[in-house]
Every structure is written in structure tokens, then in C-alpha cells.
Amino acid sequence: MRTFWLVSVAFACVAAVSARAEDAPIGFVKTLSGTVTLTHGDTSTPAGLGSAVYESDWLQTGTDGQVGVTFRDNTRIALGPESRIQLAHFVFKPATEQYGFLMRLAHGTLECISGLTTKLAPDAMSIETPGFTVGARGTRFLVRSE
């Protein structure tokens, strides 16, 4: 009976660690002014300094809003007023050489300074807009989409 209990506890611990790894933040809000909303799943809340952002989250700024986010690979983005972006996909696992970063800019202004993802895998990062796709190749750029 004791062996069964120990195996059950060990399995539960492994499952909990795996769940936490999948739910790990991909970045954090570093700068903020005005109205900024963070949507995670079906829940929208005002963003705050230090707010965690996760894969598939949406960030939206109001007419007076601006937000800056730093990601785990040290990519930095800044959204201007009246902008909306989805952090659609993020993978940064240097130990297994797995990389990917996809953002979808619905509208507004995005400034991006790419981090380690583009240095380690130049084709792994892109920004989709309603009219075009930008492939980031280790650079700094500004995108505006109406």
C-alpha cells in the first residue's frame, strides 16, 4: 500500500510540474501608461506593471495607452495608442533547439527589438497583420496596421 501511495504522489508531482511549465509566462509588462487591457482566455483585466503575459494572450491599448513587454528570449515590444495584438505562439527552448514566435497585430503600432529567438533561429519569428506578414530576422523595426 505504501508503494502505491509513493508512486501516486510522484506521478501527481510530475503532472503538476508539467502543468506549470505549460502555463509559464512568456513575458512581463515592463512599461505602461494610460489604458491597457490584457485578455487571457475569456478574462480581460487592466494590465499593470509586472503583469505576466502568456501564449495566446491579447494586449489592447486605449487612445491614451502605451505598453512595453519583455519576453523570455529578451525580445522587447512596445505598442502605441489604439493597438491590439495577440501573442499567438511562443517557444523558446534553447536546450532542445526549439524556437518560435508569432504575433498577430490586428491594428495599431508595434515597435519590436528582436531577442535571442531570431539570433538562434532567424526564420522563427514573424508578425502577421491583416495585410501582410513581417519576418523578423534579428533586427529592430516598426509596423503600423490600420
DSSP secondary structure letters along 38-79: EEETTEEEE--TT-EE-TT-EEEE-TT-EEEEEETTS-EEEE
Cα distance between residue 114 and residue 71, in whole Å: 10
pLDDT at residue 23, rounded to an integer: 83
**Residue 75 in domain:** yes
What residue numbers bound the domain in which 64 lies? 25-145
* Burial state string for 70-82 with b = 16 or more CB within 10 A and e = fewer than 16: bbbbebbbbbeee
**Residue 55 in domain:** yes
**Residue 2 in domain:** no
pLDDT at residue 6, rounded to an integer: 40
pLDDT at residue 104, rounded to an integer: 97
**Residue 5 in domain:** no
**Residue 30 in domain:** yes
pLDDT at residue 11, rounded to an integer: 42
Q: How many domains are there within the chain? A: 1
Cα distance between residue 57 and residue 42, in whole Å: 10
**Residue 112 in domain:** yes
- Which residues, given as ranges, of the chain have pLDDT below 70? 1-22
pLDDT at residue 22, rounded to an integer: 59
